[in-house]
Amino acid sequence: MLGNVRTGILGGTFDPIHIAHLHAGETALFAADLDRVLFLPAGDPWQKGARELTPAAERLEMTRLAVEEADGFEVDDREIDRHGPTYTIDTLLTFPSGEELFLILGADAALGLPTWHRWEEVIERAGIVVVPRPGTDPAAVAATVPQATILEMSALDISSTSIRELAASGRPYRFLVPSEVHRFIESKGIYTQM
């Protein structure tokens, strides 16, 4: 990758990926003047606690299905293949040193940035682009991460947790995820065993 490429990194468990993730990626792509946004499904995210994740291969496939026809979006599987806990700094250090990186974080995640493993190195290596989240004070985010760019966009109150719960209980969630992702979840019965 050439050194002058501006790459946004939107990581997460994507269990499942949903329209708020895609809206955040698209807004960051344009507002932060990025060349591309990489969607990185996490392998073993160290801050997710004891919750059992959907197998990595299925989360990766849902992510691929969600972004396959979106200009400027790519899927990157480098965290899926890593063994052991997934730390953001380790991922950032796998990119060429000349590539300009921007982490795209929800406001809630940005508030927690000082709890991250080697977080000072994270903000030295990558710019921080913050997606507003309902119930998270932008002023608190600005105080925690003063160098962050806070996006002006609709804050969509959608979570993967609520989608899993809806799917598990047989309630509708079809328009909260891309149609290809909905078909994949339904065909595999992914969240029916919760």
Looking at residue 85, its pLDDT comes to 79
Q: Could you report the per-residue pLDDT of 96-150, keeping only the tens digit for each?
A: 999 999 999 999 999 999 999 999 999 999 999 999 998 899 999 999 999 999 9
How many other C-beta atoms lie within 10 A of the C-beta of residue 194?
Answer: 10
pLDDT for the residue 52? 84
pLDDT for the residue numbered 46: 56
Tokens of 63: 């992510």
| pLDDT at residue 1, as a whole number | 46
Which residues of the chain, if any, have pLDDT below 50?
A: 1
What six digits make up the tokens of 45?
């995210």
Q: How many domains does the chain have?
A: 1
What pLDDT shows up at residue 50?
Answer: 60
Residue 52 gets the label, from left (phi > 0), alpha (psi -120 to 50) or beta, of: beta
Whether residue 89 lies inside any domain: the answer is yes
Q: Is 22 among the domain residues?
A: yes
CATH number where 64 lies = 3.40.50.620
Range of the structural domain that residue 74 is part of:
6-188
